[in-house]
Amino acid sequence: MDRAVWAIFYDLADEGREEYLDWFHKVHIPEKLSRPGYLWAAHYEVVHPGAAFEKVLDRLGQSDDPSLASGAGYIALFGGESTRTFFDPSPSQLKERQSDETREMVARRLQALGFIFCEEWRAEGPDAGSREPGTIGKAIQMGRYDAQGYDEDLEAWYAQERMVGVERTKGCIGARKLLASAGSPRHSVLYEFVSLEAREANYVALEETEWTHRVHGYLLHPPGSPLVGSRIWPPTG
């Protein structure tokens, strides 16, 4: 069972983009998946969040701390048995062992931020059975944020309302409530959908409740959160 996620948010320049993506998909991801405890991988290109969700974004609090800002072009995700998978060895130790090719390719990432998350718990949606082996949904939404002292209310909202909604939302594969073991801010959630279209059509209705509006009043998102992604590896076919 996968209980941890290593997420890397970053941008790429146009020059050398295709060469990097070819290397990342054909060399780097298989290399990572060969390590003990790595269970799945997925790579996403960030896309427009949809017209309906733009109204939600307008009311979210945004931090102006540049140290918390990430690239907003790509999201690389790796699933592990536990956070121990990603700390033995740690990202810093892996960096010391990189080949010249890996070092050169990774240096092409712009404004890259990495986070190791522990999965607190998850909810499975009506389309959970469509999750493919070795990866996660074709479309995702992922946010990271600070609750500014309202952690108990946030967790109660997830447990009592938001995840209950996920479990009945058509087109939703599931959602994972995450806590950062390395990286800031503390909270994150990863939603999986069968498609971008299903997310746009069905998910945003969950945002329009009294409790949700109260939660949005205290959440503080860093620049580059939340993001919506379309899977580019494995290919969606």
Say if residue 237's pLDDT is above 80. no
DSSP output for 73-105: SEEEEEEESSHHHHHTT-HHHHHHT--HHHHHH
- The answer to which of 85-89, 121-125, 134-138, 182-186 has the lowest mean pLDDT is 182-186
For the chain, the helix, strand and coil percentages under 3-state DSSP, each to the nearest 5 = 35, 35, 30
> Which residue intervals of 112-181 are DSSP H helices?
151-157, 163-166
What confidence score (pLDDT) does residue 183 get? 80
CA distance 54 to 212: 16
User: What is the rounded average pLDDT of the residues 118-134?
Assistant: 96
* Domain range for 86: 4-233
Q: What is the pTM of this model?
A: 0.96
When divided into structural domains, the chain yields a total of: 1
State mean pLDDT over 216-225: 92
More confident residue, 149 or 65: 149
**The predicted structure's pLDDT at residue 76:** 98
- What is the torsional sign of CA 143, 67, 22, 91? negative
User: Percentage of the chain with pLDDT > 70?
Assistant: 100
Q: What percent of the chain has pLDDT over 90?
A: 85
Does pLDDT of 58 surpass 90?
A: no
User: 119, 4 in Cβ contact below 8 A?
Assistant: yes
Q: Which residues contact 106 (CB under 8 A, 6 or more apart)?
A: 98, 112
Q: What CATH number did the domain enclosing 168 receive?
A: 3.30.70.100
Contact 122, 79 (CB under 8 A): no
Q: Which of 17-21, 207-211, 224-228 has the highest average model confidence (pLDDT)? A: 17-21
**pLDDT value at residue 206:** 87
Residue with tokens 């990189």: 98
- Which alpha helices (H) appear in the chain, and where do they start and end? 17-23, 29-33, 51-58, 83-87, 91-96, 100-106, 151-157, 163-166, 196-202, 210-218
What is the β-pairing status of strands 227-233 and 109-124? unpaired
Given this model, what pLDDT does residue 151 score? 97
pLDDT reading at 52 higher than 90: no
* Whether 47 contacts 228, CB under 8 Å: yes
Could you tell me which residues come within 8 angstroms of residue 202 by beta carbon, excluding any fewer than 6 positions away?
169, 170, 171, 172
* Angstrom distance (rounded) from CA 49 to CA 222: 16
Residues ≥6 apart with Cβ < 8 Å to 31: none
Confidence band for 182, pLDDT divided at 50, 70 and 90: confident
Mean pLDDT, residues 47-75? 88
Span 84-120, pLDDT tens digits: 999 999 999 999 999 999 999 999 999 999 999 999 9
* Cβ atoms < 10 Å from Cβ of 76: 21
pLDDT confidence of residue 64: 83
Question: What pLDDT score does 236 carry?
Answer: 80
pLDDT class of 69 with cuts at 50, 70, 90: confident
